[in-house]
Amino acid sequence: MAVDAGAFVTRLGMVTTSDHSSVVSMNLFVALICACIVVGHLLEENRWMNESITALAIGLCTGIVILLTTGGKSSHLLVFSEDLFFIYLLPPIIFNAGFQVKKKQFFRNFMTIMLFGAIGTLISFAIISLGAIHFFQKMNIGSLKIGDFLAIGAIFSATDSVCTLQVLNQDETPLLYSLVFGESVVNDATSVVLFNAIQSFDLSHFSSSIALQFVGNFLYLFITSTLLGVFTGLLSAYMIKRLYFGRHSTDREVALLILMAYLSYMLAELFYLSAILTVFFCGIVMSHYTWHNVTESSRVTTKHAFATLSFGAEIFLFLYVGMDALDIEKWRFISDSPGKSVGVSSILMGLVLAGRAAFVFPLSFLSNLAKNSPHEKINFNQQVTIWWAGLMRGAVSMALAYNQFTRSGHTQLHGNALMITSTITVVLFSTVVFGLMTKPLVRILLPQSKQNTSMIASEPSSPKSFTLPLLSNEHDSETDKGSQHVPRPTSLRMLLSPSHTVHHYWRKFDNAFMRPVFGGRGFVPFVPGSPTEQEDVQWH
């Protein structure tokens, strides 16, 4: 018994020590996040820095300190986990982006966004994959298969939507923001779908039938993911509208909104769909219908709750990436060939530059053919800014690289270790260099952007206001009133830019069928604490 009791006490002591170490790590990590917020606030007016780069820098400095204190054994406080990233950190970031996005700008440029996000990503994927096959097979970097090269194309085609939020301003450059940010969300979803499709197919015996299955699987995932997000958003709107939670408790409204948003993401994961697309479109639908069905206090609470969760997740991600970049385990396996590591990273960065240029400029030209007004066309300076702002690679690329090239957070294969360290190098270089230069580049190339967008900047977009329905604004109303004086678009313009044609019929359908059923502005019953009846009368 004495031996058993001693062993139990020993095991208990080990557990306690382990738990205490975890508590210490979490304390340090939370303290670092607080430091990132404080430093980011102090640098708010800086033309070069932003909070993502600040978090990266603090993470790098912390990693160096940890390396020195542990004798070079470790550089981070937490172990990277794909589940932590994809299940807990990414959902609030993408959902809040859809929830807060200026829908007028997003849907007005919807065809261009889809061109860039879907077709453009496929072009970039093809160029990076072919370039990787051509260069890396000659360099003899390791035993990489055709599936690995295609995975590299998907990994480095993923634009970092989090960085885009940091370096572009929705009010100062609304057109660029809607294009680059909208593209990056669709791009992330497309890259993840491509990556999953590559992993699910046997590419060692490639044939035309496999290619057709690949395309069919891609389209199926893309469409069903979007529809699932719309369905979940509409379900939440219908439930809250019918059950009037605000009569008894605004807490229930807020809890239901947050849980339904997260449920849309987890349902997509459950059915092996693109959770990024699902939660993004769920956010758009919720901001148009569900958000108008809750009380005013719930609106304020949910708006700030989603924004706070997204902000915290972004800081957490960049802080960890900064620390993980110095992980000694990964760098040890390539220490015998530093020149090859630099070469691989340089080639990947060059392929990223070429892959993005290969679709931004041609697809911008194609998009301009569909635009009537010169103000709606994407000029050359804007195209350069779009190309530059989308070059940043971030946490999605790192998570996919870990998935493809690591086992349990590390690898002992030279080729795999080389790809992991090269991914880290590209992520750090693109985030710091391109992130630092984007704001000055916008000021140089688009000096009149603030003046030209004064009307759009003042546009109150739900959930930041209580006034506009989806795709609706004063300019559109004027366009509708004077539509008899506007020349009919050519068949090419109608083919490439159907948004203006669809917009008119969508508004009629939305007013006649959707909002009476699912709520939204003007169809919310009066509940104490909700917007006043006078506001509803003014709407009608």
Q: Is residue 220 part of a domain?
A: yes
- How many helices (H) and strands (E) are present in the chain, helices listed first? 27, 0
**With left for phi above 0 and alpha for psi between -120 and 50, is residue 244 left, alpha or beta?**
left
> Distance between CA 352 and CA 131 in Å, rounded?
10
Task: Answer for the pair 293, 240: CB distance below 8 angstroms, yes or no.
Answer: yes
> Distance between CA 329 and CA 289 in Å, rounded?
49
**With left for phi above 0 and alpha for psi between -120 and 50, is residue 529 left, alpha or beta?**
left
Torsion of CA 286, 478, 500, 274, to 10 degrees: -20
Strand-pair partners of 407: 410
Tokens of 412: 């002992």
| pLDDT value at residue 79 | 67
Residues in the chain, total:
540
Q: Is the peptide bond before 463 cis (omega within 30 degrees of 0)?
A: yes
What range defines the domain where residue 375 resides?
Answer: 82-445
**With left for phi above 0 and alpha for psi between -120 and 50, is residue 519 left, alpha or beta?**
left
| pLDDT value at residue 127 | 96
Tell me the CA distances in angstroms from 419 to 136, 156, 359, 404, one per residue in order. 11, 11, 25, 10
Angle of helix 250-270 versus helix 208-243 axis, rounded to 10: 170
Tell me the CA distances in angstroms from 172 to 40, 169, 204, 255, 305, one per residue in order. 20, 5, 49, 33, 24
Q: Is residue 234 part of a domain?
A: yes
Task: Answer for the pair 150, 203: CB distance below 8 angstroms, yes or no.
Answer: yes
Q: Is residue 365 part of a domain?
A: yes
| pLDDT value at residue 467 | 38
Distance between alpha carbon 171 and the CA centroid of its chain, in Å? 19
> Distance between CA 321 and CA 395 in Å, rounded?
7
User: At 429, which CATH number?
Assistant: 1.20.1530.20
The total of structural domains in the chain comes to 1
pLDDT digits (tens, 9 = 90+) for 202-220: 766 667 777 788 778 878 8
> Distance between CA 444 and CA 187 in Å, rounded?
27
| pLDDT value at residue 4 | 56
Q: Is residue 402 part of a domain?
A: yes
Tell me the CA distances in angstroms from 365 to 121, 175, 288, 379, 441, one per residue in order. 17, 16, 32, 9, 21
| pLDDT value at residue 486 | 43
Q: Is residue 125 part of a domain?
A: yes
Query: Among 501, 391, 509, which Cα is nearest to 111's?
Result: 501
Task: Answer for the pair 426, 345: CB distance below 8 angstroms, yes or no.
Answer: yes
Q: Is residue 145 part of a domain?
A: yes
pLDDT digits (tens, 9 = 90+) for 476-523: 333 344 444 444 445 544 554 555 556 677 788 888 888 888 987 765
Task: Mark the ranges of the chain whose per-residue pLDDT is less than 70.
Answer: 1-18, 46-48, 50, 74-80, 164-167, 170-171, 203-206, 246-247, 328, 335, 407-412, 448-503, 522-540
| pLDDT value at residue 9 | 45
Strand-pair partners of 410: 407
Q: Is residue 505 part of a domain?
A: no
Tell me the CA distances in angstroms from 145 to 122, 131, 137, 348, one per residue in order. 20, 14, 10, 17
> Side-chain half-sphere of 237: how many Cα atoms within 13 Å?
27
Q: Is residue 279 part of a domain?
A: yes
